[in-house]
Amino acid sequence: MDEGRLAGRVALVTGASRGIGAAVARAFAAEGASVALGYEPRPDMAVLAEDLATELRTAGTKAVALSADLADPDAVEELVDGARAHLGPLDVVVANAALSAQSSWRDISVADWDRVFAVNLRGSWLLARAAYPDLVAGGRGSIITVSSVMARTGQAGALHYTASKAGIIGLTRALARESGPDGVRVNAVMPGAIRTEHEEALEPDPDAVFEQITAVQALKRRGSADDLAGAFVYLASDESAFVTGQVLTVDGGWVFG
């Protein structure tokens, strides 16, 4: 596509087989970007990612689906190399993929803790590092990380996930300081309670979750992945050319400030 706020740009979105990542990929494509869809190396995720890539290509977008275990540093490098080989140098990186788990904090094993941090926090750093030469050379590089409102609310039951998402905020701000002189912007999106396929699998009773979530939100409806997509487009585009080191909360008015 030759028109749109992201026309001519190449974006890599991880966790793009479904949910927030898929919505972001569709929004980027609608704005003219070529999109590499990073997905977890599982057969079900492969089917979803390949279907989305086909959908985008049918609509006229250059798109490719690429698998990667973000806990593996070599796989992160290969993911970026693959995206570049198929679509060209990267302009935008969205570190959306995350591993979530629910458990009492005393029941979390060291292996589970390390795995969550390896995917969520270290994976975001490795992804930014691998793509950085492209982002600098292109002159309009944008890295978008994904935190969680749980980093603000401190909810019980997912200490390792919540701590990793709090770490994303620190990573975003420190990396924005370091990359600013190179003209690369780094920002985070902080989603609230978003109704995705993952939530549906964990919480099959939507009415019960609706009552629980809307009680703490200013807006009395559930958020969807599409509600987040515009924030990512903004942070990837020239509309946010003077915005870096920021955390953009999209949560229906759950937390303020």
Bridge partners of 11? 35, 92
- Residue-wise DSSP of 160-206: HHHHHHHHHHHHHHHHHHHHGGGT-EEEEEEE-SEE-HHHHHH---H
39 tagged catalytic:
no
CA distance linking residue 127 with residue 231, whole number of Å? 20
* Number of neighbouring beta carbons within 10 Å of residue 143: 28
Evaluate whether 10 touches 88 at the Cβ level (below 8 Å).
yes
Pair of tokens at residue 95? 């570190």
Three-state secondary structure call for residue 44:
helix
Pair of tokens at residue 16? 């793009």
- Catalytic residue of the set 39, 132, 161, 234: 161
Catalytic positions are 161
